[in-house]
Amino acid sequence: MFTKTKNLNLVYVLSFVDLFAVGLTVPLFSNHLRELGASHFTIGLLNSLYSGLQVISGPIVGSWSDVRDRRSVLQITLLLCSLGYVALGLTNSLLVIASVRILLGVTKHTQSICKAIITDLVPPSDRASAFGRSTAFGSLGFIIGPTLGGHLIERKNGFFHVCLFTSVLFIINVGITCAINEIKSPKKRQLNHESVPIFAKLGHEFNKSVRDMGEIDWGAFWDVFLLRFIFGFSVTMYFSQQSVYLKEQFKMAQRHVGYTISFFSASGMAAAFLLHYINYFYKGDVSCLKRLTHFFLLMTLSLVCLYFAPNIELFLLVLVPFSLSCTVLRIVSMELMLKNASTTHRGSLSGTSNSIMSVARFVTPVTSGLISDKLGGSSALLFTAVPPLIGTLVSVWMKVRNGDKKNN
C-alpha cells in the first residue's frame, strides 16, 4: 500500500513538472518564430506537424509501454525531450526547429503514460479521483509556467534560457521516474539481455507493440473516441477564439489575456480537487454517460453565456462553470475508455486517446480560421457552442442505446 501511494504521488509530481515545462515554452513559441522571420503559414505548419506526429506516435508509444514497462519508456522519452529543448534553444534555423518538432511530436507522451500508470495502480472505483488529482497538479504547473516564462523571455537570449530551463525540468522528471517502483506490463516478455543486442531488443519491442495494437477491438471504442474528439475540438476551438474576442470585445491587453488563461487553469485545478464530491453526487452513474451528458450541456450553456457576457466581470464568472465542465469531461471520458480496457491494452488506448486529441488540435486552426473569416472574430465565439451541443446529443444517444435510462 505504501509503495502504491508513493508511486501515485510521484505521478502527480510528474504531471505538475511536465505541464510546468510545457507552460514555459508553448505561449512563447509562435512569437519566437515570428522574430526569426517565419510566416503565419510556417508557424501553423510547424504546430500542425507536431500534432500530426502525435496522432501517429501516440498509440505506438502507448503500446510500447504495454510491451516494455511504463517507467523505462518514460525515461527514454523524457530524456529525448530534454535534448530536443536544448537544441531548440541553441538554433535559429527553421529547418532545425522543424526537426526538433518532429522529435518532440514522436516522443512527448508524458501525460498519456502517466494516465496508464494510474490505471495500473488504482482500482476502477478510485480512478476518477486519481485522474482528478493528476489533472489538478498539471493545471497548477500550467498556471506557474506561463508567468515564469514571460519573465525569463525578457532577459538577454531569453528564449534560450526558457528552453534550457525546460530541458532541466525534463531531466528532473527523469529523476522522479527513476524513483517510481517498476510496474511490469502484463505483456512484458523477458528477453535474454546478455545475448540480444540493444537495437535488436528495441526492434523486437517495436514490432510487438505494432502487432499488439492489432489485437484491440477498436470498434468497441469508437463512440468513446468520438466523445474525446468532440471534447478536444470544443476546448481548442474556444481557445483559438478567446484572445481575439477578449481584445475586440473588452479591449484587453495581452498580459490581461494571459491572466484570464491563468484564472481558467486555477478554476480547473479547483474543480479537479473537488471531483471526488462530484462523483459522489453521481455515484449511481456506473456508465459515466449521465456525467458526460450533463457536463457537455453545461459546457454548451457556458459558451453561449460567455458570448453574451456584457463585461469582463461576468465573463470571468461564467468561465468558472466552463472550466469545471472541461475538467470533468477530460477525466470522465478517459475513465469511460479505460474502464472497458483490458490490462494488456491500457497504454495503447491511452496513447490513442492522446492521438484523438491531437487530431482535434490539428484540424481546429483551419476550421477556426474559416469560421472567423466568415463570421468575424467575435461572432465566431458563439459557434464554439456547437461542438459540445453535438457531444450532449451523442451522450444522450449512447445512454438510450445502452439502456441507461432505466438504471439512472
Please report, for the chain, the start and end positions of each structural domain, with discontinuous segments joined by +. 1-215, 216-408
Which candidate, 37, 38, 111, 36, places its Cα nearest to that of 70? 111
Region class of 311: left (phi > 0), else alpha (psi between -120 and 50), else beta: beta
Look up the CATH superfamily of 216-408. MFS general substrate transporter like domains (1.20.1250.20)
CA–CA separation, 71 and 165 (whole Å) = 23
* 8 Å CB contact between 324 and 165: no
Report the sign of the C-alpha dihedral through residues 173, 175, 177, 180, in that order: negative
**How far is residue 156's CA from residue 153's CA, in Å, rounded to a whole number?**
8
**3 state SS for the chain:** CHHHHHHHHHHHHHHHHHHHHHHHHHHHHHHHHHHCCCCHHHHHHHHHHHHHHHHHHHHHHHHHHHHCEHHHHHHHHHHHHHHHHHHHHHCCCHHHHHHHHHHHHHHCCHHHHHHHHHHHHCCHHHHHHHHHHHHHHHHHHHHHHHHHHHHHCCCCCHHHHHHHHHHHHHHHHHHHHHHCCCCECCCCCCCCCCCCCHHHHHHHHHHHHHHHHCCCCHHHHHHHHHHHHHHHHHHHHHHHHHHHHHHHHHCCCHHHHHHHHHHHHHHHHHHHHCHHHHHHHCCCCCCCHHHHHHHHHHHHHHHHHHHHCCCHHHHHHHHHHHHHHHHHHHHHHHHHHHHCCCCCCHHHHHHHHHHHHHHHHHHHHHHHHHHHHHHCCCCHHHHCCHHHHHHHHHHHHHHHHHCHHHHC
**Closest listed residue to residue 120, CA positions, set 173, 66, 200:** 66
Buried b (16+ CB within 10 A) or exposed e, 201-225: eeeebeebbeebbeebeeeebebbb
Q: For the whole model, what pTM was predicted?
A: 0.70
Contact indicator for 384, 231 with CB cutoff of 8 Å = no
| Fold exhibited by the domain 1-215 | Growth Hormone; Chain: A; (1.20.1250)
The predicted pLDDT at position 200 comes to 55
Kindly give the parts of the chain with pLDDT less than 70.
1-2, 40, 182-220, 254-255, 258, 340-348, 350-351, 365-366, 369, 373, 376-378, 404-408
Identical fold between 1-215 and 216-408: yes
- Our CA angle for 240, 329, 339, nearest 5°, is 135
